[in-house]
Amino acid sequence: MVDHGVVVRRHELTDQEWELLAPLIPRAATGRPRVEDRQVVNGMVYKIRTGISWRDLPERYGPWKTVHERFRRWSADGTWDRLLAHVQQHCDAVGPVDLTVVCVDSTTVRAHQHAAGARKGGQDRPGEAIGRSRGGPTTKIHLACDGRGRPLAFTLTAGNVNDCTRFEAVMARIRIQRCGPGRPRTRPERVVADKGSSTKIRTYLRRRGIKAAIPERIDQVNGRIRRGESRCRLDKTAYRRRNLIERCFNRLTHNKALATRYDKRARHYQALVTIACLRLWLP
């Protein structure tokens, strides 16, 4: 039961939002008293939005160690991914998710010096998605959004990884479950990307029957001219919608814990990004 007498402060979940998330929050295995889940999740949301350290969380969210421990545990068991999939499914049932146009791009996030230095080793720690680039240590978020600028799927890599290498991985993560029978929705009608995309991406989209609104680089254009081939046609009307993903990144990086990465573990930073994506889908 949701306590409708709860005072909702800034950056906290409303009653309607909590009703949608509560069924998928893992329950305690024992009957010992503990801090309420809604109180703890609000603490996580507050931390993401403001960018403060876990130790500096206001007391109204309970002991900071409790909030951090549940965040760490739910990051490891896939709770946030299930919540995001559940909310996307709910939104698709209320009003179909717009897959007429899907925009794909990436943004580079500076990694703070505190994010470096994670211990090496371990079977589940092949890398922490931090690489060296011109601005120092960075992490890159590769993301796809729908026709309303809502994040569908993303992956994390080191900041020096080329966007083209992760395009198929991002597309493979697009999966909108249906409330009733039927396969998940995984294939958009058209994909919009910038001119940095390669010929391999166009081939991948053509093989899946997806239209591409991707301008050619000048070297590709010159190569076609030398070979006597015609240029690829660009749907300029569809390409103008590429600003959807720019606006999506802008809304995500309003969360200060995402604008600069402080987390040593990639799975923790990925969980923060997932929660921020989740909030953009909530009614």
Q: Which domains does the chain have, with CATH numbers?
A: 15-24+33-76 (no CATH), 97-261 (3.30.420)
Number of other CB atoms surrounding residue 194 within 10 Å: 16
Stretch 85-94: mean pLDDT: 94
Give the per-residue pLDDT at 135. Answer: 75
Integer angstrom CA distances of residue 149 from 34, 49, 104, 145, 209: 38, 19, 11, 5, 22
Least confident of 4-18, 95-109, 133-147: 4-18
Rounded Cα distance between 127 and 268, Å, is 13
- Under the banding of pLDDT at 50, 70 and 90, the label for residue 216 is confident
- Per-residue pLDDT tens over the stretch 151-194: 999 999 999 999 989 999 999 999 999 988 889 999 999 999 98
Within the chain, residue ranges assigned H as helices are 15-21, 37-50, 64-76, 79-94, 167-172, 199-207, 218-227, 236-239, 243-252, 256-259, 266-281
